[in-house]
Amino acid sequence: MELIDEGTGELVGWQHPDDFREWNKTERSRAPKDKRMTATEAVEEFVDDGDVIANGGFGQVRISTPIIHEIIRQGVDDLTLYAKTGEFDTDLLMAANVISEAEVAYLGLETRGLSAVARRRIEGGELDVLAEGSNAALQWRLLAGKMGVPFMPTRVMNGTDTFEHSSAKVVEDPWTGDPITLVPSINPDTAFIHVPRADKYGNAVIDGIIVEDHQLSGAAENVIITAEEIVPSKEICQDPSSTDIPFFHVDAVVEAPYGSHPVEMSYQYYFDEEHLAEYIEATENEEDLQAYVDKYIRETEDFEEYLELIGGEEKLAELEAIETYEQDPEYPWCSD
């Protein structure tokens, strides 16, 4: 295949597919092993300084807040963020300065606006953007990683600066003769994915949109599952067509009710708009931002203490009522 063009972005998290196969053969257990542990233990065991990390869910939906908090509490440092859809999840990590490099498809807050934190960190040179990409490109990098192939052909990005600053290459497709973009596979060091239900072995079920979690769970070298509820395996096996992530892709299972707070968990609880407004206001300057991180993360013992701090059972019941349409939400950020 003739090489037509190649992006100048740094190649993040790529390895030879044989090395990933070997990792999966030697380091991933097939035993029916009870993988339950605390968020503290999971981060101690599976997140190291300098790792390439990737978040499951969709930035403001089904995120793994307990793991994000614990990474910050433990002072893990110098992480490389695979920012496929980086929103409230990655914002916290950037706020606490644990990320020093990123491959970026998206860093923002959608309807809620630009990320003041991403702007300050990147414009100030504290966070180095290694490569750009599109949502599909970053997702297909994960698909290639999951499939055990070195790249995935796609028809996105060519002709743009997004391509020029990516780690993709353009070659002549041997069948059509047309240019085709190849995105390299990626195997992040660790992924953390929040789900409604999992058993103690890591078999996990997602309700609602999957986003990239089928690809991400298969591509990562280590996968931490946080679950609203740990259920008996029998319950999972009675409906195997609903299993989204099989146990052999999973290394740790952490029970974490309300683990996606302050963002949404489909069918269970809604965005905590009050808390999000407080956070977004705090992002406006560094002093308030660090005060937020101290109060809610660094100075809390664990996620349970955080949940008490944000309003406890009463607040969580209200978020459940809004999610299930029993109560109307209020949006402080959209008032005049």
Taking the least distance from each CB to other proteins, the nearer of 160 and 285 is 160
Among 51, 132, 251, 272, binds other proteins (CB under 8 A): 132
Measured distance CA(227)–CA(205) in Å, rounded: 9
Among 65, 80, 154, 187, binds other proteins (CB under 8 A): 154
**Rule CB under 8 A: is residue 327 a binding residue for other proteins?**
no
Helix (H, G, I), strand (E, B) or coil at 315: helix
Taking the least distance from each CB to other proteins, the nearer of 51 and 323 is 323
The span of 20-28, 133-141, 222-230, 245-253 binding other proteins (CB under 8 A) equals 133-141
Determine whether 307 is exposed, middle or buried from the number of CB atoms within 10 Å of its CB (0-12, 13-18, 19+): buried
Determine whether 311 is exposed, middle or buried from the number of CB atoms within 10 Å of its CB (0-12, 13-18, 19+): middle
Taking the least distance from each CB to other proteins, the nearer of 140 and 258 is 140
Taking the least distance from each CB to other proteins, the nearer of 37 and 182 is 182
Measured distance CA(171)–CA(304) in Å, rounded: 51
Tokens of 161: 């600066």
**Rule CB under 8 A: is residue 196 a binding residue for other proteins?**
no
Helix (H, G, I), strand (E, B) or coil at 7: coil
**Rule CB under 8 A: is residue 158 a binding residue for other proteins?**
yes
Among 159, 232, 312, 332, binds other proteins (CB under 8 A): 159
Helix (H, G, I), strand (E, B) or coil at 74: coil
Among 55, 65, 134, 187, binds other proteins (CB under 8 A): 134
Window 169-188: residues binding other proteins (CB under 8 A):
170, 173, 178-181
Helix (H, G, I), strand (E, B) or coil at 139: helix
Beta-strand pair 204-205/243-245: antiparallel
Among 43, 52, 53, 61, binds other proteins (CB under 8 A): 61
Among 41, 78, 110, 284, binds other proteins (CB under 8 A): 110
Residue carrying the six token digits 């974490």: 256
Residue 124 φ then ψ, to 5° = -85, -5
Peptide bond into 262 cis (omega under 30): yes
Binding footprint of other proteins on the chain (CB under 8 A): 57-62, 83, 85, 87, 104-108, 110-112, 114-115, 118-119, 122-123, 125, 132-137, 139-140, 143, 154-162, 165, 170, 173, 178-181, 207-215, 264, 266-267, 271, 323, 325, 328-329, 331, 334
